[in-house]
Amino acid sequence: MIRVAIAEDDFRIANIQEGFLQQLEGFTLVWKALNGAETLEQLENEPVDLLLLDIYMPDQLGTELLPIIKERFPQTDIIMITAASEKEMLQEALRYGVFHYLIKPVSLQKFTSILMNYKKKKQLLSEASHVTQEVVDAYFSEVVSPTISTTSLPTGIDSVTLTHVSDLMKTIESGISIEEMGVKMGASRTTARRYLEYLVTIGSCRVEHEYGIVGRPERRYFKI
């Protein structure tokens, strides 16, 4: 289990993030904090693996907490989730090695993609007995390919079929519709959609809408 904390002064946003976390396997929320002082106090009392950190808090900026956290709690990774759009804020966050930087409002799809990618990268390092260039390249790639495990997949997703669909996506540059994937899989439209949407959820694919002359827009899936 990845232990997560939320530092966010708006309790409504904190509750939304908590709801997102509850939908993700392998993550558990340990505590929430409303300001910088409480964040540091909670980190002292109950260390976590990952901190979802806002920038604009009542007592101090989240970016001002970064050097303190890195010095006192070096094992805590950080994802900034903020409405701040100033370039200087992003640059400051990058200097202290944040894992990612999300601009509010954050969709469930984006939240899921980033946190599952974080989980895959932690798994990659924990499972590596020694560091090779392949391990390093995989870690620093935008998205780590999902580790297919029957114990971590949701109901209705089979590891063999998922690997097959993922491999098919690697060969398709112009995107593919649900119907086209169904044909390639030899499966129903419902099954094809389920696997494509799961790949979107874990950040391996993105989806675009193509508008035809008539009818509803078609969802088209592209490998990231």
- The predicted-structure confidence for 66-116, as pLDDT tens digits, reads as follows 999 999 999 999 999 988 888 899 999 999 999 999 998 888 888 988 998
73 against 122, higher pLDDT: 73
Q: What is the pLDDT of residues 44-63, one digit of tens each?
A: 999 999 999 999 999 999 99
User: In which element (H, E) is residue 60 found?
Assistant: none
Lowest-pLDDT range, 21-30, 62-71, 176-185, 198-207?
Answer: 198-207
Whether 121 and 139 have beta carbons less than 8 Å apart is answered as yes
Phi, psi angles (nearest 5°) of residue 47 = -60, 150
Residues 21, 136: Cα–Cα separation, whole Å: 28
Q: Classify residue 61 by its DSSP letter.
A: B
Residues 66, 73: Cα–Cα separation, whole Å: 10
Q: Tell me, what's the pLDDT at 160?
A: 76
Whether 54 and 40 have beta carbons less than 8 Å apart is answered as no
Q: Tell me, what's the pLDDT at 192?
A: 92
159-223: CATH, from 1.10.10.60, 1.10.10.10, 1.10.274.10, 2.40.110.20: 1.10.10.10
Whether 48 and 30 have beta carbons less than 8 Å apart is answered as yes
Whether 145 and 159 have beta carbons less than 8 Å apart is answered as no
2-107: CATH, from 3.40.50.2300, 3.20.20.140, 1.10.287.610, 3.40.50.1100: 3.40.50.2300
Per-residue b or e along 23-51, where b marks 16 or more CB atoms closer than 10 Å to that residue's CB: ebeebebbbbbbbbebbbebbeeeebbbb
CA dihedral 36, 42, 45, 48 (to 10 degrees): -110
Q: Classify residue 177 by its DSSP letter.
A: E
Copy the structure tokens of residue 45: 């009392």
Q: Tell me, what's the pLDDT at 143?
A: 52
Residues 8, 12: Cα–Cα separation, whole Å: 9
Residues 28, 158: Cα–Cα separation, whole Å: 25
Task: Supply the pTM of this predicted model.
Answer: 0.64
CATH 3.40.50.2300 in the chain, residues? 2-107
CATH 1.10.10.10 in the chain, residues? 159-223
